[in-house]
Amino acid sequence: MGGIADKIGNKSALIVSFIIMSASFFWLMVAREMWMLYFFGVIFGFSYGALSPLVSPAVAELFGLSAHGAIFGVTFLLGTIGEAIGPVVAGGIFDVTGGYQWAFLLCAAISIIGIIFSSLLRPTNGLPPAPATLRI
């Protein structure tokens, strides 16, 4: 996805990744066969893995390079906290409802929030806009 971001911009690549991720969770909600689970794994894995190479350039374009390491570190710290809490929340949802449908719906909703927040990104560092291939 990093190469695609060089062509369409980091902001657009983030939005595409979150759209694919959201769609994968909706797919998982209706999956009833093993091949459907494998298909989910491939699609979700691509979209989730695609986010990693996009975060660092997005942070640089939004905030500049002077505090890049600190902002990038906080971003990944918050993501890691969410990744640690997610399975506990999903397990709690399963315990209360007897299934994972609401957990999958929650994941889809969080991905949709990612789409919305990504679409609202604007550089705040006071620098002129990045070249067309790197625009957020």
The pLDDT-based confidence of 130 (bands split at 50, 70, 90) is: low
Q: CB of 96 within 8 A of CB of 19?
A: no
Q: Three-state SS for 3? A: helix
| 14-44 pLDDT tens trace | 999 999 999 999 999 999 999 999 999 999 9
The CATH topology of domain 2-122 is Growth Hormone; Chain: A; (1.20.1250)
Q: Give me the residue spans of the domains in the chain.
A: 2-122
Q: CB of 25 within 8 A of CB of 108?
A: yes
CA-nearest of 6, 5, 25 to 111 is 25
Q: Three-state SS for 44? A: helix
Q: CB of 48 within 8 A of CB of 109?
A: no
Q: What is the pTM of this model?
A: 0.82
